[in-house]
Amino acid sequence: MYSEKVMDHFQNPRNVGTIADADGVGQVGNPVCGDMMRFSIKVKDDRLSDVKFQTFGCGAAIAVSSMVSEMAVGRTLDDAMTITNETVAEELGGLPKNKMHCSNLGADALHAAIEDYRRRQTPGYTGPEPQPLADHHHDEECTCPFCEGQLDHGKKEFCRACQLEFEDCPACGGLSKAGSETCVTCGAPMKKDEGSEVG
């Protein structure tokens, strides 16, 4: 269903997290599927010197965000604005049709961050502070981020079709591949302190 590149960017996402003193922040979301992406950027000499993202959504949404961040770092602002959702999908080796308009929103979020940066450069600009990214919540009907099949519940979530095990992030509740050091959604450490079992 997904290319090797998509799987790689989901399992090993690049540039997850936030930039505390970001020069621009952009957020987009799809209310139908619930995917939400936020990009924060640093700009130096009209180039993107740093790009970070937070994404709540499926594996495709995370892979798209990771790829966009990788494609954008080092580019001029005008050049980064030419990155499209279509070129991102091509770079990832393609996305399933049902993911093209649902999860492939990374370029839109990047463009929103650049536009936010440019607005902030306007004399006298006082814009709104970015709102917190909506918390991801999954329940008994939780599905695999790759194939969207139902997960078996136990100590960890397991997808029989993909033969992959997932676990909940203690910070945001999103799913990451079991054994990951950081959450692919929010970038927080996956390991809880010993003895702080959440029941």
The residues annotated with a catalytic role in the active site are: 33, 102
Cα separation, 39 vs 16, in Å, equals 9
The token pair at 189 is 């450490």
Cα separation, 141 vs 128, in Å, equals 36
Closest listed residue to residue 177, CA positions, set 4, 5, 7, 14 = 7
Partner residues linked to 80 by β-bridges: none
Closest listed residue to residue 106, CA positions, set 62, 146, 42 = 62
Q: What is the DSSP letter of 129?
A: P
